[in-house]
Each structure stands twice: as structure tokens, then as C-alpha cells.
Amino acid sequence: MMTTALADLPLDQVRTLLAVVDEGTFDAAAAALHVTPSAVSQRVKALEQRTGRVLLLRTKPVRPTESGAVLVRLARQVALLERDASAELGLSGAGEPTRVSVAVNADSLATWFLGALTRVPREPGLCFELRREDEDHTAALLREGVVMAAVTSSPDPVPGCSVQALGRMRYLPCANPGFAARHPAGPLREVLAEAPVVVFDRRDDFQDGFVRRLGHEGASPARHYVPTSEGFVEAVAAGLGWGMVPEPQAEPLLRTGRLVGLAPDLAVDVPLYWQQWKLDSPALATVAEAVVTAAAEALRR
């Protein structure tokens, strides 16, 4: 296998690999780079030959292999540092916005995270690309180089990243006030194991985990999948089933009576962490400061 130092890799090939991953297809990458699809294919093939590794899975959308993720991360870091340096030196192109990509879970996005971004000063000229993903899976996007930072549930740093604790998001088991009327009265551990439940998607194990804490195998198979944070809460408030509702979204509905708490003493706290690349980047540092400050106000310690 051919061995090549990273410093010897042609930047145009590395940037082309990044464009293919970001755009999802070779044709879309060609349009973004203003070259032909054939040129894109040749650059990627040349990079694969130079590294002696398969870098892309030719799926739709294209996905990086484990080796490809290393080079995608490198390309994104180089691009960020180039923009930071151009801005500091006042070189041409410095007026272009710096794009910061962040993976964030839906509940944070619906409650406190957007408010954090409004705290970022306008001077750096930042643009944000947010990727919505469950907090248990956002770290994978960091490893793949898809994002520069992420809100995660893991305190274990992704290689090449730093970690800061943000606080704890509290979740309350809630239901519509008519819940008790529609289902037989009984101990909570029995009611929730049999009653219809609202879940986020097929990877969402949160409600099942709560019911397992009550001594059952999981929540009822009678479940509604609602894959948005706002829609999830509305589905519970509308009476489709019970669910674990983030405290910031539950509180106003509990006050107005649209929701009732099923077990206030059994709330579940999920710790959240901010992970980001270890880069001396003013853009990343500015975003991190705003996120950590906002989280300290919005989340439980």
C-alpha cells in the first residue's frame, strides 16, 4: 500500500472530497466547485490511489468511510483556519462568512440552543449549519468530520475534540388530562406499560427506558412516532399518548392544564456536553462561549 504524508496530499483533491460529502453526490459537488463531474471523480480517485484507501461509499447520499472521515475532518479544519487567517489579515475573500457546522439534538434546538446562537456577536460574520441528531448520536458526526462541534450526552471526548459540561435537561412523564379517564386507573408502573405512548422515532428508547425503570420490559407497542420536538409535545398534549416531555416545554402546558405530570418525583435528567475540535479558531471559540453561557441559564446544574 502506498504511504503518503498528510502534508503531501493535494489540497484541491482533499477539498473535492469534502464537497462530495457535503453535497451528497458527485454531480452536486461538481456544480458547487464549477467543474465537471468527471473532474470530481478523477480527483477523488487520485486521492484514493495516493492514500491507498477507499475514501467514499458510493451511496446516495455519498458517505465517507472511516479513512475518508479523517480527510473530511482535515479538509474542514483547514478551510476554517484559512478563513480565520484571511479575516485576521484582511485579505480578499475575508468578507465571506465563516460557516460553523454543529450537531444538536431536537429538544435543545426547540428550547434553548437557538437563543444561544443569537448571543454570538455579528462581527465575525458567522453562518451556522445545524444538523439535527439525537444527543446519543451527535458524536458520530464529529468523528466523521461532518460537523465541527456538537451537543452530546457523552462526557468522553471524540479524538481531537475538547469537552465542556453544559448542564442537565430534565424530562417529565406527562399526558393529556384525559389520559386517566381513557385508561384503567391503577399504579403508574402498570398504566404506563400498557397505555399508548408517543416516541420520537424508531431509535428513540427514552420512554421504553423509563418504563423499564418501573420494572417492565418496555413501553406499550401501541406507539405514535412523531419526529419533531414541537410535534412530539403537541401529540402528548393532544392525548395521543403519554411521553417524556422536556421541562422547558412541559412547564407552560402544566400551568395551563393542557398537560398533567404523571410522576413528578420520577423525573429523568439527561446530562449534556459541548464537544468541539481542538482548534485555535476565533469562530469556534465565540460560538462555544455563547453556547456554554446560554446553557448555564437554561439547563439544570
CATH number of 169-269: 3.40.190.10
- The model's pLDDT over 246-265, given as tens digits with 9 standing for 90+, comes to 999 999 999 999 999 988 78
Per residue, what are the HEC states of 233-276?
HHHHHCCCCEEEEEHHHHHHHHHHCCCEECCHHHCEEEEEEEEE
Instruction: Please tell me the distance from the alpha carbon of residue 144 to that of residue 178, in angstroms, as a whole number.
Output: 45
Instruction: Please tell me the distance from the alpha carbon of residue 180 to that of residue 97, in angstroms, as a whole number.
Output: 53
The CATH architecture that domain 1-89 belongs to is Orthogonal Bundle (1.10)
User: What is the model's pLDDT at position 131?
Assistant: 93
User: What is the model's pLDDT at position 98?
Assistant: 76
Angle, alpha carbons 76-108-268 (nearest 5°): 130
Instruction: Write the CB contacts of 84 (distance below 8 Å, at least 6 apart in sequence).
Output: 98, 281, 282, 283
Across the strands, what pairs with 269?
A: 170
- The model's pLDDT over 193-246, given as tens digits with 9 standing for 90+, comes to 889 999 999 999 999 999 999 999 999 999 999 999 999 999 999 999 999 999
Residue stretches of the chain with pLDDT short of 50: 1-2
Dihedral sign, Cα of residue 183, residue 189, residue 195, residue 199: positive
Domain range list for the chain: 1-89, 169-269
Do the beta carbons of residue 146 and residue 24 sit within 8 Å? Answer: no
Instruction: Please tell me the distance from the alpha carbon of residue 93 to that of residue 96, in angstroms, as a whole number.
Output: 6
Do the beta carbons of residue 171 and residue 245 sit within 8 Å? Answer: yes
User: What is the model's pLDDT at position 34?
Assistant: 92
Instruction: Write the CB contacts of 161 (distance below 8 Å, at least 6 apart in sequence).
Output: 142, 275, 276, 277, 278
pTM of the model: 0.80
Instruction: Please tell me the distance from the alpha carbon of residue 2 to that of residue 8, in angstroms, as a whole number.
Output: 12
